[in-house]
A and B are shown apart, each in its own frame.
Chain A
């Protein structure tokens, strides 16, 4: 969610019971603008909080002129001092998927790979590195996975220019209430993978400037999003069931939207049994 609209946004996602204490809110209000200044971001998003056993990680994302470019991610343990995280690599993602269990809360904690995946451990030992995976790497990989899988925006909020870069649509007035209840009005804010699979008929209706992302309709498994109208229909809240804790809010007919993650950072692999 936008760092500037943080207080209002937190009030809208508070239906799930998770939020930030006044101390952390005040700290964010002070430190996020400084982050924007230091790293020269155009936008700073407060991504959320991953709850570890002994502590929590607070994550922020910074965006440059092209909003669809890979985002820089920062983490902090106290919402005051932010450290930049390296971008995620495919290898990191593959390894991190093997690690199960809660985050510990200590960025230098090392998960022993030997227990998890003997092959990878052997490979790493051969190449001279220790067969461990640090919690920081796991954190990077988890954030990337969550953004790819369930980071969503409403349709029409972003436009793609003919040059390929993506900007906020200054003319976005918000989704009407009828559209806001449909899953097809929300897009994954990541590289699209399903666009080419649409039939020609569907493609004819698409507007290439706004429909350049995957919509939520065809997410597997079906029903992995819970849409609710809270506060009597003034806010549309989408909660992901695949990554429990990801909450997206949008106030129909206004420009307010955003998503935030408050959770333990674990994928809900039991989802098919639970539906």
Chain B
């Protein structure tokens, strides 16, 4: 009696308080009545909702099945979310008559490409050729292990893919030496870069560029000739611009200076390798003035001021050249100049020193004098070896103002630091030294290695352990600037034409000046008349 009876039809036991239906009335409860109540309840639960077409019975059944299958913890707290999710799942299946297109996720394509890397070309002929001249495939995994001791590097999987991709590169291209240079990050895709030296005689020059230049110049000449003829007939010519662009500094020959190595890039291991074009000094000079993110597509334009002469492939190549020149170091004494040649300032060749004794790791970390650059620095001109641009201008076809230019622009010969300079001579910026040296571990000094990090090019690292050393770059490809990057200002407007008396404006004479001039003229006339009269009188 103290209990409230079930009031709602769906509550269990509804109807059981009616006479004849209470569970206590009969010793053996009437199964039929009970069954009827259960059927009523179930029928109510099975009622389909007018809005969504679902019914509560199925919904509960699905929820309970899901819960019993998954058995999450604290189910009672998340029961509402589970119910919601079940409804959402139901909704999609029943109401949509459109089916989603079976989208093949890009995962599988990439997995295919990676799998292709693992295929070994096992023809016997190839094996014999390889045995004769083994190009040096670098042991990328070993390098990765050493760099990992410093916390630098890609994951083991990715390193291995890079390893296999380099092996493919060697099989395809005629390569003499090869090295994993590093990875440059981009906005949409990244670049994996390999530094390579091709076998002698295998380099192709690009004749297309030269042919195009001559065609353009020929057209220009014709155009100018026609204009000149027309104008000479009509009027004196308008003043011509005396602007002559500065002579183009020639790029360095393949195999020397900034173009000593050839670089191949790919976006991901498994994708085909693309060769980067050689770098020109103009590109390096411009790259020093701009700071742009790489997008990941080699043909993307580089929109900047000063306008970059080239697209992203050229910009990438220029940055690679700058990074190599600034941060490729080796233990001092590992390389030496060959003894036969005299030490010229432009010495470009070095060879390994067979008598190199690696200093202990502690010394390599403490003193920066134990490391030396083995790549020549780039001068302001954009080359490693200075060239006098005035000599080149003799070959230009416009010969008018050339002689004057030689006198005016006598550029100072630039000299950079000679090869194999110690890095202790690198200047720091404000409070930061140019390099930071650390040992990989202080706990186990007998197996630690020396790690160098560059502060000028964040992302450039070098390690040395005994006779082994290596350089690598992981980063965005930009130099560190303690102050913010200031873009170049547009140059002053050029004077359009030379200053000549016929062109410049002179101030009009004032009224007083005119009167004075008039008076002076009248006096002169009067004097002249008097003289004539006198002469007339004489006669």
Interface positions of A (Cβ within 8 A of B):
10-12, 14-24, 51, 53-54, 100-102, 104, 169-171, 177, 223, 226, 228-229, 231-234, 239, 241, 244, 264, 269-270, 273-275
Contact status A20-B436, CB under 8 Å: no
Taking a contact as CB atoms under 8 Å apart, the answer to whether A17 and B432 are in contact is no
What distance in Å separates the Cβ of B437 from its nearest Cβ neighbour in chain A? Answer: 10
Q: For chain B residues 164-188, which have a beta carbon within 8 Å of chain A?
A: 182-183, 185-188
Nearest residue (CB) in A for B77 is: A170
Binding site for A on B (CB under 8 A): 72, 78, 81-82, 85, 105-111, 113-114, 148-158, 182-183, 185-190, 290-293, 430-433, 436, 440-441, 443, 453, 455, 458-459, 474-476, 478, 481-485, 487
- Show 30 residue pairs from A and B whose CB-CB distance is below 8 angstroms, ordered by the A residue: A11-B156, A12-B155, A14-B154, A15-B185, A15-B190, A16-B185, A17-B152, A17-B182, A18-B152, A19-B148, A19-B152, A19-B155, A21-B150, A21-B151, A23-B440, A23-B443, A53-B431, A53-B455, A100-B483, A101-B430, A101-B432, A171-B82, A228-B188, A229-B106, A232-B107, A232-B109, A232-B111, A233-B105, A233-B110, A275-B293
Give the complex CA separation of A226 and B295 in angstroms.
9
Residues of A within 8 A of B106 (CB): 229, 232-233
- Of A11, A229, A275, which contacts B155 at CB under 8 A? A11
Determine if A17 and B105 form an interchain contact, defined as CB atoms under 8 angstroms apart: no
Measured between beta carbons, the chain B residues less than 8 angstroms from A264 are 458
**Which B-chain residue is minimally distant from A24 (CB atoms)?**
B151
Are A274 and B152 neighbours in the complex by a CB distance under 8 Å?
no
B475 touches A231 (CB 8 A): no
B482 in contact with A100 (CB, 8 Å): yes
- Report the Cα distance A189→B484, complex, angstroms: 29
Chain B residues with CB under 8 Å of A228's CB are: 188-190
Residues of B within 8 A of A10 (CB): 155
Chain B residues within 8 Å of A21, by CB: 148-151, 440-441
Q: How far is the CB of B318 from chain A (nearest CB, A)?
A: 15
**A17–B190 alpha-carbon span in the complex (Å):** 12
CA–CA, A229 to B190, complex, Å? 11
B187/A234 in contact, CB under 8 A: no
Q: How far is the CA of A241 from the CA of B295 in the complex (A)?
A: 12
Identify which of B72, B107, B432 contacts A233 (C-beta below 8 A).
Answer: B107
Residue of A nearest to B305 (CB): A273
In chain B, what residue has the closest Cβ to A55? B438
In the complex, the chain A residue whose C-beta lies closest to that of B85 is A171
Which residues does chain A contribute within 8 Å of B432, judged by CB atoms? 53, 101-102
Interface SS of chain B: helix, strand, loop or mixed?
Answer: loop
Do A18 and B151 contact each other (CB < 8 Å), given the known contacts A53-B436, A104-B431, A232-B110? yes
Of all A-B residue pairs in the complex, the 10 with the closest CB atoms, nearest first, are A232-B110, A17-B474, A14-B155, A270-B485, A233-B106, A21-B151, A233-B107, A11-B155, A226-B187, A20-B151
Q: Give complex CA distance A68, B157 in Å.
A: 36
- Looking across the interface, which residue of chain A has its beta carbon closest to that of B72? A170
Whether the Cβ atoms of B109 and A226 lie closer than 8 Å is no
Distance of A17 Cα from B159 Cα, bound (Å): 11
Q: Which residue of A lies closest to B187 (CB)?
A: A226
- When the two chains form the complex, which single residue of A17, A19, A223, A273 contacts B291, counting CB atoms closer than 8 Å? A273
Cβ contact of B487, chosen from A17, A100, A273, cutoff 8 A: A273
Nearest-CB residue, chain B, relative to A105 = B436
Name the one of A11, A18, A233 contacting B474, with C-beta atoms under 8 angstroms.
Answer: A18
- Flag if B153 contacts A17 (CB, 8 Å): yes
Closest to B438 in A: A55
- Residues in A neighbouring B111, C-beta threshold 8 A: 232
A10 to B441, CA, bound (A): 20
- Known contacts A14-B158, A226-B188, A273-B291; 14 further A-B pairs (Cβ under 8 A): A11-B155, A12-B155, A15-B183, A17-B153, A17-B475, A18-B151, A19-B152, A53-B436, A101-B430, A101-B482, A226-B293, A233-B105, A274-B292, A275-B293
Contact A17 B189 (CB under 8 A): no
Assess A273 versus B485: contact at CB under 8 Å? Given A21-B440, A53-B433, A177-B105: yes
A19 and B185 CA atoms in complex are apart in Å by 15
B484 touches A270 (CB 8 A): yes
CA of A241 to CA of B187, assembled, Å: 9
CA distance in complex: A100, B149 (Å): 30
Least Cβ–Cβ distance between A12 and chain B, in angstroms: 8
**B296 nearest CB neighbor, chain A only:** A228
Question: Are B485 and A239 interface neighbours, CB within 8 A?
Answer: no
- Determine how close the nearest CB of chain B comes to the CB of A50; give it in whole angstroms: 13
Q: Measured between C-beta atoms, what is the minimum distance from A14 to chain B in Å?
A: 4
Query: A14 and B188 in contact (CB under 8 A), knowing A100-B482, A244-B476, A274-B291?
Result: no
Considering the chains assembled together, what is the distance between the CA atoms of A22 and B182 in angstroms?
Answer: 21
B441, A23: Cβ atoms closer than 8 Å: yes
Known: A101-B432, A226-B188. A17 touches B459 (CB 8 A): yes
Central interface residue in A11, A12, A53, A232, by most chain B CB within 10 Å = A232
Interface centre among A11, A169, A270 (most CB of B within 10 A): A270
Measured CB to CB, the nearest residue on chain A to B484 is A269
Smallest CB gap from A12: residue in B:
B155
B78 near A170: Cβ-Cβ < 8 Å: yes
Partner of B293, one of A19, A177, A234, A274: A274
Q: Is the CB of B482 within 8 A of A17?
A: no
A135 to chain B, nearest CB (A): 12
Instruction: Give the CA-CA distance A160 to B72 in the complex, in Å.
Output: 20
A169–B157 alpha-carbon span in the complex (Å): 31
Which residue, B85, B189, B291, B432, has most C-beta atoms of chain A within 10 A?
A: B432
Q: Which residues of A contact B107 (CB under 8 A)?
A: 232-234
Q: How far is the CA of A102 from the CA of B188 in the complex (A)?
A: 28
Q: Determine the chain A residues whose CB is within 8 A of the CB of B78 once the complex forms.
A: 170-171
For B157, the chain A residues whose CB sits under 8 A away are 11, 231
CA gap between A10 and B155 in the complex, in Å: 8
Q: Which residues of A contact B433 (CB under 8 A)?
A: 53
A275 vs B293: C-alpha distance when bound (angstroms): 6
Could you tell me the distance between the alpha carbons of A100 and B482 in the complex, rounded to whole angstroms? 7
Q: Which A residues are CB-close (under 8 A) to B484?
A: 269-270
A96 to chain B, nearest CB (A): 16
| Bound-complex Cα distance A20 to B148 (A) | 7
Q: How many angstroms from the CA of A231 to the CA of B270 in the assembled complex?
A: 11
Residues in A neighbouring B487, C-beta threshold 8 A: 273
Query: Chain A residues with Cβ under 8 A from B443's Cβ?
Result: 23
**Which residues of chain A are within 8 angstroms of B474 by Cβ–Cβ distance?**
16-18
Neighbour of B431 across the interface among A101, A231, A269, CB < 8 A:
A101
Residues of A within 8 A of B110 (CB): 231-233
Residues of A within 8 A of B152 (CB): 17-19
On chain A, the residues within 8 Å of B150 by CB distance are 21
The answer to whether B190 and A241 have CB atoms under 8 Å apart is no
Distance to closest chain B CB from A117 (angstroms): 16
A69 CB, nearest partner CB in chain B, Å: 20
